[in-house]
């Protein structure tokens, strides 16, 4: 059989061109979006295979269609490796995304109308933690908890008080924009006190947990959901690990409760990513992500930015742009022009609307995969500051874009794909 990319060139040159241009973008500009990473070629190879052709509703050895005796091995490997990686009783590797993993966990353990506590988006949570436009708020009675206004750290005492008042059936811990260690043991203590289940959405920090760079929620939580494509560096998808007592309910909730045929090519790619994360080198990687985040936060502080909560313990930081007099929207666009990819993000008590914001969220998982270390973080902070001191200056954008490309030429994520 010919090379699949060559086949693509012949069949659809327009899409082949999009892929070529995106390879170029990822190889030549600096990626600082905290929820992104660069998967290995092995992960991508597993994903682009004939496994995409197979219908496999059900679970290994309990499928609805024939011909699954080969593909079952991929899902078994993925489940076993996920359990080993996280020290979990049970894994479901079929969720197509983090949002569907969360939905499956809610449907498995809650009834519509139940009270659930979660962190609102503006405090660093996720849409599926009770944001008004999301299914989670439409189907369940979400009550928010959040940060201490002064320290910008999670206010565990206020969270406990809210739990005593609202008596939730479930507490959801986890965030998309919280730069500090989350104390899962403290959440468990509160959950036990009020008789609630504890679900942890570990989407952002799954790779740090796997690599020993963040305490694990697994010993404390009833259910842990995560995505496989952020710090964990696998394919774009979700997964769930849980205690044995919830295994059947979780499995039933994912299929037939929520999804149809699993994406077996993606599940195979998850198995590859879990295998990679089980290697000793992944522990070094996770530790370096955190060191790089800390170095970037320090260097940005030295450039005059304010870092929310004064720093970071994980892979991400929230940068308060107000000292530079620019909004998140302006900053994101100016940095895009200068070859630095970021996302605007609200900061705690942000006076700006969510589509404008006063902040940027930056993460170091991708640049760490590319091989960058602390010296490069200092260089990147200087480039960001240079752009945001003159966000409308086209000449500055051009010079920084050249500097970013020079840096990336020493740390190219996909030299094989050039």
For residues 63-92, which are near ligand DSN according to CB under 6 A?
none
Figure out which of the listed residues 176, 312, 346, 368 binds ligand DSN, where binding follows CB under 6 A.
176
For residues 126-145, which are near ligand DSN according to CB under 6 A?
126
Closest by Cα among 136, 103, 130 to 118 = 130
Tell me how far, at minimum, the Cβ of 176 lies from ligand DSN, in Å. Answer: 4
Residue nearest to ligand DSN (CB): 35
Cβ nearer to ligand DSN, comparing 147 with 264: 147
End-to-end CA distance of the chain: 23
Cβ nearer to ligand DSN, comparing 63 with 126: 126
Closest by Cα among 208, 37, 207, 201 to 124 = 201
Active site residue 157: no
Cα dist from 69 to 97, 274, 375, whole Å: 25, 22, 50
Cβ nearer to ligand DSN, comparing 126 with 401: 126
Across 293-341, the runs of DSSP E, i.e. the strands, are 306-307, 316-320, 340-341
Beta-carbon contacts of residue 235 (< 8 Å; ≥ 6 apart): 39, 43, 44, 46, 47, 228, 229, 266, 269, 270, 273
Tell me how far, at minimum, the Cβ of 35 lies from ligand DSN, in Å. Answer: 3
Active site residue 201: yes
Q: Helix %, strand %, coil % for the chain, to 5? A: 50, 15, 40
Tell me how far, at minimum, the Cβ of 167 lies from ligand DSN, in Å. Answer: 28
Active site residue 361: no
The three-state (H, E, C) secondary structure of 82-141, written as one string = HHHHHCCCEEECCCCCHHHHHHHHHHHHCCCCCEEEECCHHHCCCHHHCCCCCHHHHHCE
Cα dist from 356 to 35, 331, 344, whole Å: 19, 10, 7
Closest by Cα among 51, 49, 48 to 67 = 51
Active site residue 236: yes
Tell me how far, at minimum, the Cβ of 411 lies from ligand DSN, in Å. Answer: 22
Tell me how far, at minimum, the Cβ of 40 lies from ligand DSN, in Å. Answer: 21
The catalytic position among 188, 230, 233, 361 is 230
Site string for ligand DSN, 351-370 (x = CB under 6 A): --------------------
Q: How far apart are CA 113 and CA 111, in angstroms?
A: 6
**Bond preceding residue 256 cis, omega within 30 of 0:** yes
Active site residue 230: yes
Tell me how far, at minimum, the Cβ of 15 lies from ligand DSN, in Å. Answer: 24
Residue with tokens 């959901």: 225
Check: CB of residue 238 under 8 Å from CB of residue 96.
yes
Cβ nearer to ligand DSN, comparing 197 with 205: 205
Left, alpha or beta for 130 (phi > 0: left; psi -120 to 50: alpha)?
Answer: left
Site string for ligand DSN, 249-278 (x = CB under 6 A): ------------------------------
The catalytic position among 236, 322, 329, 389 is 236
Cα dist from 123 to 14, 144, 150, whole Å: 41, 9, 13
Tell me how far, at minimum, the Cβ of 410 lies from ligand DSN, in Å. Answer: 27
Size of interface with ligand DSN, in residues (CB under 6 A)? 4
Check: CB of residue 178 under 8 Å from CB of residue 152.
no
Cβ nearer to ligand DSN, comparing 131 with 268: 131
The catalytic position among 9, 49, 57, 336 is 57
Tell me how far, at minimum, the Cβ of 417 lies from ligand DSN, in Å. Answer: 24
Cβ nearer to ligand DSN, comparing 178 with 324: 178
Cβ nearer to ligand DSN, comparing 265 with 315: 315
Exposure string over 37-66, b if 16+ CB within 10 A, otherwise e:
bbbbeebeebbeeebeebbbbbbbeebeee
Q: Is 35 in the site for ligand DSN (CB under 6 A)?
A: yes
The catalytic position among 162, 225, 227, 327 is 227
Which residues are known catalytic residues? 55, 57, 201, 227, 230, 236
- Which residues make up the interface to ligand DSN (CB under 6 A)? 35, 98, 126, 176
């Amino acid at each position: 059989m010919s090379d699949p990319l060559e086949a693509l060139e012949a069949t659809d040159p327009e899409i082949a061109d999009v892929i070529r241009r995106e390879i170029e973008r990822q190889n030549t500009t600096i990626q600082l979006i905290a929820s992104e990473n660069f998967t290995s070629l092995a992960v991508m190879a597993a994903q682009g295979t004939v496994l995409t052709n197979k219908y496999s509703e059900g679970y290994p050895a309990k499928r609805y269609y024939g011909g699954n005796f080969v593909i079952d091995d991929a899902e078994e490997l993925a489940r076993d490796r996920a359990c080993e990686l996280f020290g979990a009783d049970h894994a479901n590797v079929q969720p197509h995304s983090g949002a569907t993993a969360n939905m499956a966990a809610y449907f498995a353990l809650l009834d519509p109308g139940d009270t659930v506590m979660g962190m609102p988006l503006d405090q660093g949570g996720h849409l599926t933690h009770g944001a008004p436009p999301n299914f989670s708020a439409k189907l369940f009675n979400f009550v928010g908890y959040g940060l201490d206004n002064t320290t910008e750290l999670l206010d565990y005492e206020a969270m406990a008080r809210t739990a005593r008042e609202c008596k939730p059936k479930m507490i959801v811990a986890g965030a998309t924009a919280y730069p500090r260690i989350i104390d899962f043991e403290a959440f468990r203590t509160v959950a036990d006190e009020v008789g609630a289940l504890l679900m942890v959405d570990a989407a952002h920090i799954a790779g740090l947990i796997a690599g020993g760079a963040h305490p694990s929620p697994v010993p404390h939580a009833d259910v842990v959901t995560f995505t496989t494509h952020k710090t964990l560096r696998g394919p774009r998808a979700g997964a769930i690990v849980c205690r044995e007592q919830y295994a059947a309910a979780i499995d039933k909730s994912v299929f037939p409760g929520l999804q149809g045929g699993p994406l077996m090519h993606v599940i195979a790619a998850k198995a590859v990513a879990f295998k990679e994360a089980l290697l000793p080198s992944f522990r070094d990687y996770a530790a370096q992500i955190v060191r790089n985040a800390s170095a970037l936060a320090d260097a940005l502080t030295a450039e005059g930015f304010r870092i929310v909560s004064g720093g970071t313990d994980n892979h991400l930081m929230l940068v308060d742009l107000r000292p530079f007099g620019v909004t998140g929207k302006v900053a994101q666009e100016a940095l895009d022009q200068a070859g630095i990819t970021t996302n605007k993000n609200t900061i705690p008590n942000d006076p700006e609307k969510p589509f404008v914001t006063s902040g940027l969220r930056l993460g170091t998982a991708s640049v760490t995969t590319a091989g960058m270390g602390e010296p490069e973080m200092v260089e990147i902070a200087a480039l960001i500051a240079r752009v945001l001191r003159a966000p409308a200056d086209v000449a500055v954008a051009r010079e920084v874009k050249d500097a970013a490309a020079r840096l990336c030429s020493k740390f190219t994520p996909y030299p094989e794909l050039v």
